[in-house]
Amino acid sequence: KTPLRVEFVCSGLKNEDLPASSAPEFALVGRSNVGKSSLLNYLAGQKQLARVSNTPGRTQTINLFSAEKGEFFLVDLPGYGYAESSHATQAHWEKGMQAFFEGREGLFAIFILIDIRREVQPEDENLSRWLQNLGLKVIAIQTKCDKIHKSKWHEIRELHAKKLALHPSQIVTTSSDKKIGLSEVLKMMSGMLDS
């Protein structure tokens, strides 16, 4: 499969800073450093469309990208839950993201990213349940699968699904580094858009 044609639209701190939705939007959310921006670059087949860094907390704004000439949109979001962040920072993230998820009318589905090596954390679990309760479609994307032997993937998928209150078929295993999972992610997206 070929990558998506993706173009940067704009960044903002809140909904009011962004243009109104004109097509379905897929948002990428998850812990800091989990690989959201890297996944976006991988889906786009570009190296530096979204900024990637070893330092957690790299992405600080809501970043809107158009895909396939505006057929749908991708949204790269700031991460949550890194150790050094203060209680105030966490609360700030929660407030900002809550407003985004509740207020963004074009929001179509949310990709929650989970590092395949890590257990699902309470923040991930709560977010998944909260988004599903809002009536949003939730898909989990396991990142960095190059770090774990393939023989373990199935077992971890079952565990992650259970914790996130998802069916294992709602999880895709990826590696942006080794370029694994692009076709599954694209298939998942077009399946959702068609249904």
23 or 125: whose CB is closer to ligand GTP? 125
Closest contact distance (angstroms) between CB of 108 and ligand GTP is: 21
The burial of 33, by beta-carbon neighbours within 10 Å (0-12 exposed, 13-18 middle, 19 or more buried), is given as buried
Residue 66 as a binder of ligand GTP (CB under 6 A): the answer is: no
Q: Where are the beta strands (DSSP E) in 33-184?
A: 62-67, 72-76, 107-115, 137-143, 171-173
37 or 66: whose CB is closer to Mg ion? 37
State the binding partner of 176 from Mg ion, ligand GTP, none, CB within 5 to 8 A by kind.
Answer: ligand GTP
94 or 193: whose CB is closer to ligand GTP? 94
7, 94, 125, 146: residue in contact with ligand GTP (rule CB under 6 A)? 146
> How far apart are the C-alpha atoms of 54 and 73, rounded to whole Å?
26
State the binding partner of 142 from Mg ion, ligand GTP, none, CB within 5 to 8 A by kind.
Answer: none
Residue 112 as a binder of ligand GTP (CB under 6 A): the answer is: no
State the binding partner of 33 from ligand GTP, Mg ion, none, CB within 5 to 8 A by kind.
Answer: ligand GTP
For residue 29, which phi and psi values (nearest 5 degrees)? -135, 160
Crossing angle of helices 122-133 and 153-164, in 10° steps, is 60
Tokens of 133: 């309760």
What are the angstrom distances between the C-alpha of 68 and each of 7, 26, 35, 73? Answer: 9, 13, 22, 8
What are the angstrom distances between the C-alpha of 82 and each of 17, 93, 123? Answer: 26, 12, 11
The 8-class DSSP code of residue 121 comes to P
- Per-residue binder mask for ligand GTP (CB under 6 A), 21-40, x = binder: -----------xxxxxxx--
Residue 118 as a binder of ligand GTP (CB under 6 A): the answer is: no
With contacts defined by CB under 6 A, name the span among 48-56, 94-102, 153-161, 182-190 that binds ligand GTP. 48-56
Tokens of 56: 């957690």
75 or 157: whose CB is closer to Mg ion? 75
Residues at the interface with ligand GTP (CB under 6 A): 32-38, 52-54, 56-59, 78-79, 143-144, 146-147, 175-177
Residues at the interface with Mg ion (CB under 5 A): 36-37, 58-59
